[in-house]
Amino acid sequence: MSNYDNNMRGSIWKNDKKEKDTHPDFRGSAEVNGVEYWVSAWRRKEGANPNSPALSFSFQAKEEQRPTQQPQQAPADKLADDLDIPF
């Protein structure tokens, strides 16, 4: 068991599987507030404004986060009592 806390940390590596210009230049992962994310990063395009970001990032949760509770629904007869139909 490791005593190292990876929360609020991540790392990226060169994407060796890049086939198109739209594919990320770098891929990796990060942990933010206990949620693990896939990280994709693109370099600034050649000839772009030097004031533009050197890297652009995208984060995607590794697993869909499920709500801990399902929303409560009112019983059907209660809904009928709350309806006020003007005709």
Reported as a pLDDT band with limits 50, 70 and 90, residue 3 is confident
Handedness of CA 14, 18, 21, 22 (dihedral sign): negative
Range of the domain at 52: 1-64
The answer as to whether 87 is a domain residue is no
The answer as to whether 77 is a domain residue is no
The answer as to whether 81 is a domain residue is no
Q: Is the separation of the CB atoms in 37 and 59 below 8 Å?
A: yes
Tell me the C-alpha distance between 42 and 27, whole Å.
9
| Residue 16 per-residue DSSP state | T
Q: Is the separation of the CB atoms in 15 and 27 below 8 Å?
A: yes
The answer as to whether 40 is a domain residue is yes
Reported as a pLDDT band with limits 50, 70 and 90, residue 7 is very high
The answer as to whether 73 is a domain residue is no
SS3 state at 35 = strand
**How many domains are contained in the chain?**
1
Predicted confidence (pLDDT) per residue in 28-82, tens digit: 999 999 999 999 999 999 999 999 999 999 999 998 655 455 555 555 555 555 5
What is residue 76's predicted lDDT score, i.e. its pLDDT?
53
What is residue 64's predicted lDDT score, i.e. its pLDDT?
66
- Other CB atoms within 10 Å distance of the CB of residue 71: 5
What is residue 60's predicted lDDT score, i.e. its pLDDT?
95
What is residue 73's predicted lDDT score, i.e. its pLDDT?
55
The answer as to whether 59 is a domain residue is yes
Structure tokens at 80: 């009928």
The answer as to whether 34 is a domain residue is yes
What is residue 16's predicted lDDT score, i.e. its pLDDT?
97
The answer as to whether 2 is a domain residue is yes
Whole-model pTM: value is 0.66
